[in-house]
Amino acid sequence: MEEAHKRYNNFIRSRLMMTEYEKKELYQYDKQISLEDKRREGIKEGMKKGIEKGKLEGIKEGKLEGERDKSISIAKTLKQMNMDDDSISKATGLSIEEIRKLHPDGKKL
């Protein structure tokens, strides 16, 4: 009877140890999943910020391009009105070289 009691106690102890081991394994697994979720969340947030920054830079670039196109259009008009290149440069912010490259029919040389 004592042997049976001893085996039973060993069984219970080993079962408790196994349960503790399983708890530790589950904890490690949960921790790993949590880290992976946070990594994915960080990537998603980074992409969102990158897209927003790209949009803002695109808008800024578009505005600058639009301003330049407007300056060229004004320079062409002033050139057709026989205004001198120096005055056109001062009025539009374009360089003398850029103004001289403007062709009377609206094309660049």
Domain residue limits, the chain: 2-100
Burial 57-93 (b: 16+ CB within 10 A, else e): eeeeeeeeeeeeeebbeebbebbeeeeebeebbeebe
> Residue 104: its pLDDT value, please?
60
- Whether pLDDT at 105 is above 70: no
Predicted structure pTM score = 0.52
Closest CA to 89 of 78, 105, 103, 81: 78
Q: Which among 66, 64, 95, 92 has a CA at the least distance from the CA of 78? A: 92
pLDDT at 99: 94
Write the pLDDT tens digit of every residue in 26-80: 889 888 989 999 999 999 999 999 999 999 999 999 999 999 999 999 999 999 9
Res 13: pLDDT: 74
